[in-house]
Amino acid sequence: METKLYDLLDRFYNEMVEIRRYLHQYPELSFKEEHTPAYIADFHKKLGHNVKTNVGGRGVTAVLQGGRPGPVIALRADFDALPIHEQTDLPFRSRVDGVMHACGHDGHTATLLILAKAINALKEKWRGTIVFIHQHAEEYAPGGAIDMIKDGCLDGVDVIFGTHLWATVPYGKIQYKHGPMMAAVDRFEIEIIGQGGHGAMPHLTKDAVVIGSQLVTNMQQLVSRRVDPLDPAVVSVGSFVAQNAFNVIADRAKLTGTVRTFSEDVRSLLEKELETITHATCQSANAEADFTFSRGYPAVVNHEGETAFLADCAYQVPGVSETEEMKPQMGGEDFAYYLKHAKGTFFFTGAQHPNWEKTYPHHHPKFDIDERSMLLAAKVMGKAALEYDN
């Protein structure tokens, strides 16, 4: 079965590339996907799968029932794009101005569709049930995963596997991580309410720019002095806006930023400390502040047994040159929600082409992948689905 699965995937590889390139030309933003889920649903319907659309909003699930009893295994791919104007010279570059598949979700979708086609060809001898989860809106919180779960996409599922094609990891390498892999992603917004005035008379004002600058400086003490150094955490201010004429002292300033953590205790601590230090800093200048903290995706925490199983599977797949346990990284993924409801693991499939002079990171307007990584991802997930026994 394993050899037959690989042979089928090799045979369907050109179609996998065609699907990826087609989807790349017609990207759709999070929560606005219409054509893509319809395309996915139609593909599965032609294979005879039990298809459900509008799952949790715009998601699609397809169920393949094998001919032999066995576990229920979910495989997930996301399909939304980003509000980025593509700057590549690819012949299949985005035809939608200002929207681009700059994170590889077109490749994820093509991978899962062709894996579904290959497994379908073997379904009479396949052991168990496969649930193909095609998720909308991974890029934009609250994301699509949580609503798809509420809508039942994991009902009866024994295990879930997912991968991300990772453009800064060399092709041929599979990265896995036991336990915490990707960080919780939270957002804060702070509006400082001071008192503006003439730039020549600062003593009559409560300068929101100065107060905001002090606040940014004070924030640097949160991770270094309030968080255990053995617990990773990031507090970053991404924007600081207080636009005025050159000779006007600002009465208001707005700061936005992100907090990244792995521990729920550290997450709660930083939420509390950020609010405290905001109000304390403003109070010291007789100013006021509005503080908002919005929780996004939780941390991706892989299950130990399933991660060890996946790593062992990947090591045996033809074309995988190296498997390694990666360090945790501070990027976020709403695959985290699936892992809170079912056993499973999330891993990276290297997608950096060895001949590229320059590699562009995810969310960059010149982002691209080595398309062979899709085939490798399909083989690793296919082997895991074939051999998993709960």
Active site residues: 80, 138
Q: Of 206, 196, 166, which Cα lies nearest the Cα of 370? A: 166
How many Cα neighbours within 13 Å face the side chain of 260?
Answer: 16
| CA 44 – CA 243 distance, rounded (Å) | 52
Cβ-based neighbour number of residue 95 at 10 Å: 11
Nearest by Cα to 281 from 208, 225, 235, 214:
214
Angle between helices 105-121 and 35-46 in degrees, nearest 10 = 10
- Contact indicator for 79, 40 with CB cutoff of 8 Å: yes
**Backbone CA torsion sign across 241, 242, 247, 249:** negative
What whole-number distance in Å separates Cα of residue 352 and Cα of residue 345?
22
User: Residue 222 and residue 370: Cα distance in Å, rounded?
Assistant: 40
Cis peptide before 142 (omega within 30 of 0): yes
DSSP string, 292-311: EEEE----EEE-HHHHHHHH
Residue 126: both structure tokens together: 């396949």
To the nearest 10°, report the CA torsion of 6, 8, 14, 20: -80
Tokens encoding 287: 């100013």
Which 3 state secondary structure label does DSSP give 262?
Answer: coil
Backbone angles phi, psi at 248, to 5 degrees: -120, 130
Instruction: Report yes or no: 145 and 334 within 8 Å, Cβ to Cβ.
Output: yes
DSSP state of 138: S
Structure tokens at 254: 């707005």
